[in-house]
Structure formats: C-alpha cells, structure tokens
Amino acid sequence: MSVQFPPSAAPRSAYPVDVLPAMVRRRLLELADAGRPLSAYVYDGDVAAGRARELRAALPEWAAVYYAVKANSFPGVVEALAPYVDGFEVASVAELELALRAGRLAGRHADQPPGQDGENPAPAVPVVAAGPAKSVPVLTALVRAGVEAINAESLLELHRISRIAVAEGVTARVALRVNPAEIPITGALLMGGAASQFGVAEPDVPEVLREARKLPGLDLVGFHIHAASGNLDAATHAAYLRWCVEWSVRTARETGIELRHVDIGGGIGVAFEGEEPFDVGRFGELAAGIEPPAGVKVILEPGRFVVADCGWYAAEVTDVKTSYGESFAVLRGGINHFQLPTSWDIVHNVAVLPVEKWAEECPRPTAENTRVTVVGELCTPEDTLLRDVLIDRVRAGDLIVFPYAGSYGWEFAMHSFLGHPVAERHLL
C-alpha cells in the first residue's frame, strides 16, 4: 500500500507575504490573537462576485451562468454571488435550500407568478440539479421546488421523477445527462467517452428517450453534458461549448425532443503557479460565433473558477521539527480541514504570515532558509499538504496561509477524522 503525497514543490519558494491582501492579513492576525490555535478559512464575497460578473459580461445573451454550489457552500459566499449569476446548480436538499434562500435575500425573481395548469411554480431563483444517485427524498424536494431542470442520470431516475410529479399534480422539467461516446476536442476534457457512473451512455440515449416520452410526469427540455474539467484554454472550451450545442440540436431533432435547454457543465480551470489563466474575454468572443436555435438556453455551471481565489485557508504552526535532516512545519489543521492538495495531486503553494506574539516560556522552534514540508495534525503520514518548499523563515506560532482555497476546501475535507474541531469560516 503506497501513501498518497502531493508532488514535491522543489525548486519553488513560498509566496512572499504580500501575495495576501492587506485586509486578509489583518483579519487573520486578529483571529490569531484570540488565544486559541487557529485553523480557519477567510472568504471575500466581492472577489467571487467579480469573477461571476466578468464571465457573465463576456458571454452572449443566450448563455447563462449557474454557480455550482458544491464548490463553496458557505452562505455568505453564495449570497454574495446571487445578484450576479443567472442561477445555481445544486446536488442535495441542503444546497437547494441554500440557493433558494440566497435568491430570496437578493430579491431575485420575487415577482415570478405561480405555475398554472399543472405546471410547477418557478423557484425564487433558477436552479438545476445534478448528481448520480439522487434519492427519492431529494427528487421529491426538487420536484416540489419546481426547479428549472433535474438532470436525470438514468431511466430509473426518470421513472422516479415522473411518479413523484404525478403524485404532486405537477409536471417536472427534466434534462437527460449524457455520457458521450467521444469528445472530438483535445485538452483537459476528462469526463466523457469512458465507462462511468455519470449519465446515460450515448448509444443508449435514443431508447431511454423513447421510454421517457411515455412517462406522464415529465417535460423533457434537453440535455446535460458535463465532460470538461480544469480547462485553461479558451479556444478549446469554446469548441467544447459549440460541440455540446451542435450535438444537442442534432440529437433532439433525431429523437423528436423539443430542445429548450443545453447544460454543458463547468470545466473552466484555475491557474496555479506557472500556468496561464483562462482568457475569459477570448472565450466570450469565440462563444459569440455560436448560434443556438431560438428559444434554447445554454447553461454553464462554473464552480471552482468562480470561487477559487475568493478564499484563504490559514493554520497556526504548532511546531517546527527537524528529522534526519528534513524540516517540517506542523499545523493545527491538515487534510481534515484542507484535503485538496493531496486528493488532486497538486502543488498548492503557501505564504508564511509572521505572528510576533509568543507567550510560551520556552525556545521558539524555527526553520530558516531551508526546504520545509507542511504537515497536519492527524495520525497518518498522508496528512501532508505541501512538500519541499523553500521558506525564508517559519516559526512555531506563525500562520501558514494557502491562497486559492475558496473552492473544494472546507467542503471537501475529512472533518470527522480524529475528532478535532473543524476549521472556522469567516467572511470579510
């Protein structure tokens, strides 16, 4: 059995402390002065809102930006985004309630009239729902909320949605999630063309649609194709968008579906050290050359792209140790709070925020001008967040701060392992 470590950061150096915005540094030092070991996320809702506005402004009118709540479900972040996105993508009842509450607080679509003639009322804010194993309670909540579309993953799920909708006296809007046989585009496109628990395999789509059209509680509105992940190339992502639209138009025509909805998922990447960021303006220019049929809404579901740089994870250095010539900074926190670097096999660099106060009556352990491995508080060697990064100085009591921690951070962590307190969360 091999231990999963993040890749070595060598020859990188840690970020200078001024990579952290001044107000983030101030807030973290305030928290560090509270008299208890610190492990916390700090979020800036304005940063997330700005990213959403940038993407929304670059896209044509037929495109819609729905924030994927799974990336960061902190209520303050979701509420900050609500005025600037067209809707939300959810995968649970908790996320559904969070999205609807954020929409109501933002005053979005408050004048929406109730549905008539057996149709669901539109929710307070447009919502689409995804997930490979939606339970009957989840599907029931989605149907009752009248979400814009439930992305159905199988024929059985379509039967369940229909049965629930008929019992509720409504018609549920459904998009079929498809696992395409081939994505004719190169790049970071990882979620299609292979056996998967996600969606309906493309060869099975015609038969599933024939059966679905017999079900009385469904309104088949289109397709969900989420086959992109971590794409940093604007031209490739625009080509993927075009392919999704063209595939959906062709398949709807061949199967007799009245196409109104194409959901291409997320997939826009976040640039780390040494990578070029996604060119939103170029993506918008290329998307403008695509012409979906009139009345077809094309939904993008960015999550990580919208919130990655709105969050910072900080943990107090509880000890600095040397073992057989290697230096370690041991944190109050680890993969129980921030699992991303290990799970995603990335070098997630840090900054050291000095904390001058040292109340203990003993020498202050320090490492200077050396490579340091940053580890957590758990009883497993896998609790390693960063390896071999060159640090000018780190002392017990300082803070190690991970920028770009606004997505898949707190939500993705192993909160219960060993039973330590979970990381705090704060909104600037």
- Same domain for 235 and 379: no
How far apart CA 173 and CA 149 sit, in angstroms, is 5
How far apart CA 306 and CA 278 sit, in angstroms, is 12
How far apart CA 143 and CA 127 sit, in angstroms, is 11
Does 111 map to a domain? Answer: yes
Write the CB contacts of 406 (distance below 8 Å, at least 6 apart in sequence). Answer: 43, 47, 48, 71, 72, 77, 307, 308, 309, 310, 311, 312
Q: What's the gap between Cα 37 and its chain centre?
A: 28
Q: Domain boundary residue among 308, 331, 359?
A: 308
Parallel, antiparallel or unpaired: strands 311-323 and 326-331: antiparallel
Tens-digit pLDDT profile for residues 103-158: 888 875 434 433 444 455 555 479 999 999 999 999 999 999 999 999 999 999 99
- Same domain for 71 and 220: yes
Structure-block tokens of residue 75: 């209520």
- Same domain for 37 and 59: no
Q: Domain boundary residue among 275, 308, 341?
A: 308
Does 49 map to a domain? Answer: yes
Among the listed residues 244, 310, 362, 379, the single catalytic one is 379
- Same domain for 132 and 115: yes
Tens-digit pLDDT profile for residues 45-91: 999 999 999 999 999 999 999 999 999 999 999 999 999 999 999 99
Q: Domain boundary residue among 308, 328, 352?
A: 308
Structure-block tokens of residue 277: 């960021």
Instruction: Check if 379 is active-site.
Output: yes
Does 5 map to a domain? Answer: no
Q: What is the pTM of this model?
A: 0.92
Does 38 map to a domain? Answer: yes
Domain CATH for 244: 3.20.20.10
Q: Give the mean pLDDT of 23-43.
A: 93
- Same domain for 391 and 254: no
Predicted pLDDT of residue 108 = 55
- Same domain for 63 and 36: no
How far apart CA 322 and CA 326 sit, in angstroms, is 5
Does 411 map to a domain? Answer: yes
- Same domain for 323 and 269: no
Does 179 map to a domain? Answer: yes
- Same domain for 248 and 130: yes
Domain CATH for 383: 2.40.37.10
Tens-digit pLDDT profile for residues 216-244: 999 999 999 988 788 899 999 999 999 99
- Same domain for 56 and 199: yes
- Same domain for 219 and 252: yes
- Same domain for 33 and 121: no
Does 4 map to a domain? Answer: no
- Same domain for 326 and 245: no
Secondary structure of the chain in HEC code, one letter for each residue: CCCCCCCECCCCECECHHHCCHHHHHHHHHHHCCCCCCEEEEECHHHHHHHHHHHHHHCCCCEEEEEEHHHCCCHHHHHHHHHHCCEEEECCHHHHHHHHHHHHHCCCCCCCCCCCCCECCCCCCCEEECCCCCCHHHHHHHHHHCCCEEEECCHHHHHHHHHHHHHHCCEEEEEEEEECCCCCCCCCCCCCCCCCCCCEEHHHHHHHHHHHCCCCCEEEEEEECCCCCCECCHHHHHHHHHHHHHHHHHHHHHHCCCCCEEECCCCECCCCCCCCCCCHHHHHHHHCCCCCCCCCEEEECCCHHHHHHHEEEEEEEEEEEEECCEEEEEECCCCCCCCHHHHCCCCCCCEEECCCCCCCCCCCCEEEEEEEEEECCCCCCCCEEEEEEEEEEEECCCEEEECCCCCCCHHHCCCCHHHCCCCEEEEC
Confidence of residue 181 (pLDDT cuts 50, 70, 90): confident
How many domains is the chain built from? Answer: 2
Does 215 map to a domain? Answer: yes
Confidence of residue 185 (pLDDT cuts 50, 70, 90): confident
Query: Which domain range does residue 204 map to?
Result: 45-308
